[in-house]
A = this chain, B = another copy of it.
Amino acid sequence: MTYSAPLRDMAFLLHRVLKVQDQDIPGYADLDESFTGAVLEEAGKISAEILAPLNAVGDREGCRLENGVVRTPTGFREGFDALRQGGWTALDCDPEFGGQGLPYLMHTVANEPFVSANMALNMYMGLTHGAYSAIRVHGSAEQKAYYLPKLASCEWTGTMNLTEPHCGTDLGLIRTRAEPATDGSWRITGTKIFISAGDHDMADNIVHLVLAKAPGGGEGTRGISLFVVPKVLEGGARNAVSAGKVEEKMGIHGNATCVMNYDGATGWLIGDLHKGMRAMFTMMNEARLGVGMQGYAVAEAAYQQAATYARERLQGHAAGETSGPAAPLIVHPDIRRSLMDQKAFIEGARALTYWGATLIDRAHRLQDSAAEGLISLLIPVIKGFQTDKGFDAAVAAQQIWGGHGYIEDNPMSQFARDARIAMIYEGANGVQALDLVGRKLGADGGKAVMAFFALVKAECMAHDADPRMDPFTRPLKVASKQMQAAGMYFLSAGMKNPSDALSGSTDFLHLVGHVCLGLMWVRMARAALTGLEAGEDAFLSAKLVTARHYLTRHLPACALHLARIEAGGETVMALDAQAF
């Protein structure tokens, strides 16, 4: 694969759409265009030159368990070293622990090229960042001092241990036990599965965060506590934790997905006893936004290969021509239609993700509860919608390569296989939809969704005097009304019969996703029009075309989703389980 970071689009979003320096979030004033440009250019360079060439290697070689040690693919250590040495692992970490203290937004934006170029390798860093955040918020001062500098630098890496063979989403079922030892530590015993980066040969230590049941916590999720269980104990002894297996997976072969066996391993409580769920899920918004980013970032890589192939592959003739030399694929309307669909989704999702990251910064750096409410509402959409559509986009990009896209000599199959996992992990997309409809929609009396509607309305009305904006705002107004109608349906139907509401949960997640991307495209169109007042610019002109493409060809999906939502649960719930 070849990869080129979309630097112009990134700069456009940061400085023309989000106008980061105009925002009142602490730290944002420093994000001037030359600084962000230099950071992102360097991130793009490492991605293109070091990480992208390792992507196929990781897919082909995978990870192997040899004599109790997990071996990562050739070159992965050197790739990881490039990230570590460049300070990329700690952009938004606390300077107290060796970080650079930049906003979370910059972490997000800088990570995109790494994910596009090599999702599997980037995950070693991503999981570590999650462990860093959990310990930073919930750990004791000693734990922070001991773990955080090593995690910030990725000298040590981290893992999240939730899933067990018999339980995924329903964590109340976990069986891993924690028994108190006399020295204040705990003995952890149990089996965890699907542990990304569970073991590998690229770090001196691996810091496992483990959900386990300690005595006295009661039934279900209430009994769960969070423990830190390092692979290597202080002093250098090996802890009683080991990788029992490396899974063979559909994709992300370069990341070691392990079965982890805890055989009375020594661990220490993080945060309060029996409050493990809360501790684990503090970081959920960031983790899920990161997965939503994977959705479009892998699609971006696939799209780049598809566009190049479409320009170079000679096949057939343009409409109306029947002879002469063959033309490149890109003359064919259906190929262009597919490329435009991919492009419009990717750029819209990028905008939504960056905006989401600013909301997280606003919530954390300004203790802004409105921003916290809004991002909590949007997170299941960013995760679920963007990974569903990101997979579709990767598959569409693969399709442009024809039969060559199905052959593993070429990069396209890997993008589709890698993108597939993002729909599943960090809460399967059906669970995201349930979270949206069953929890987020009605949270705090529906405050967040009302704020969202107000925001969409304000965006549309702001341009009522500008006829150039009409083609952009009109479809968004229609879609926003459909989203409101869906909300009303849930309010009335959900009261009577929850199954009627929940049968439409995935459709609602997609409906909101389209409204969000519609909102982003209106904002981008406005910024592009403003920019064009200064003179012709091919990038900005393309933005306007792409905006209309998304708004006219994709927002009409909202009517379909509304029709399905309003169909309720009758046909969904009618059949006996044995009739399937």
Contacts and interface: CB of A to CB of B under 8 A. Distances in A.
Interface of A: 163, 166-170, 172-173, 193-194, 219-220, 247-251, 307, 310-311, 314-316, 319-320, 323, 326, 328, 330, 332-340, 343, 391, 395, 398-399, 402-403, 405-409, 413, 416-417, 420-421, 423-425, 428-430, 433-434, 498-499, 502-503, 505-506, 538, 542, 545-546, 548-549, 552-553, 556-557, 559-560, 563-564, 567, 569-580
Contacts of A247: 407-409
Contacts of A563: 552-553, 556
27 contacts: A247-B407, A248-B407, A248-B409, A249-B406, A307-B580, A311-B577, A332-B502, A333-B503, A334-B434, A334-B505, A336-B572, A337-B503, A337-B506, A340-B572, A340-B575, A398-B420, A399-B424, A402-B428, A406-B424, A538-B576, A545-B571, A545-B574, A545-B575, A548-B570, A549-B572, A553-B571, A559-B559
Nearest to A546: B571
A333 B502 contact: yes
B553 A564 contact: yes
Contacts of A310: 577, 580
A406 B426 CA distance: 14
Contacts of A434: 332, 334
B538 A250 contact: no
Contacts of A337: 503, 506, 572
Nearest to A509: B334
Given A434-B334, A556-B560, A402 B168 contact: yes
Given A332-B502, A333-B498, 17 more contacts: A167-B315, A169-B315, A173-B314, A194-B403, A248-B408, A250-B408, A319-B498, A333-B572, A335-B430, A391-B395, A395-B420, A398-B420, A542-B579, A545-B571, A546-B571, A548-B570, A553-B563
